[in-house]
Amino acid sequence: MSHSLIEGIRMPDGHYADGTWELRVLVTDLEQELIMRVTGELHVGGLMLRLVEKLEVKRDWSDHALWWDRKNVWLLKTHWTLDKYGVQADAGLSFTPQHKLLRLQLPNHKHVR
Amino acid sequence: LDAQPYCELHYHARRGSLCAGCQKPITGRCISAMGHKFHPEHFTCAFCTKQLNKGTFKEQNDKPYCHPCFVKLFG
């Protein structure tokens, strides 16, 4: 494999040139930013799994999804890879609940929820 | 056990009937899965923490997942 060719080459940040890169993910509930080392072939679901395993906080994450701030999109197709979504190292994702509180003013000027 | 006295915790530890979720003795209903025993309420999906039923969970890296979460994470 071509892997052996690039083995031993180090990037300026000290990591081997193995096709991985760092992705910043903000976990909004915990106000914690995680740096994940990923490849473009990683699935969105796999990234969520690794986030939750890294956090080691046992709770209901089922409503959480990855939000791409700059592009204003949810990464909901969890079988898609980061490459397919076009997510690169500068993306800056948020791991955040999909259902949020909304204050709605009705035509009679009353507010609900 | 073996005509020896044990406290409750070590009795269950020797018998292998401690819950792998909370490490406390299981006296009532018990779920055996992935080589461990669990209180039914402590056998939960590793992603959404909802209670799992034996036979309807999926295992990945020694962790149980409910079907929707499994599809989401590994599908």
Q: How far is B12 from chain A (nearest CA, A)?
A: 26
Position A81 scores a pLDDT of 93
Rounded to two decimals, what is the model's pTM? 0.77
Q: How far is A104 from chain B (nearest CA, A)?
A: 29
Position B54 scores a pLDDT of 65
d(C-alpha A59, C-alpha B48), whole Å: 7
The DSSP H or E segment spanning B33 is strand B31-33
- Average the pLDDT over A31-59 and give the result: 91
In this structure, the number of other CB atoms found within 10 A of the CB of residue B56 comes to: 9
A109, pLDDT greater than 70: yes
pLDDT digits over B2-57, tens only? 677 888 888 877 777 888 888 888 888 888 888 888 888 889 998 998 888 766 78
Specify the range with the lowest mean pLDDT, choosing from A1-5, A21-25, A73-77: A1-5
Contact A78 B68 (CB under 8 A): no
Set of chain B residues whose Cβ sits within 8 Å of the Cβ of A58: 49
Contact A60 B48 (CB under 8 A): yes
Give the total residue count for chain B: 75
d(C-alpha B32, C-alpha B60), whole Å: 17
What is the ipTM score, two decimals? 0.71
Contact B74 A45 (CB under 8 A): yes
Position A2 scores a pLDDT of 47
Are A87 and A23 within 8 A, CB to CB? yes
Position A48 scores a pLDDT of 94
Position A1 scores a pLDDT of 43
pLDDT digits over A55-107, tens only? 888 889 999 999 999 999 999 999 999 999 999 888 889 999 999 888 888 88
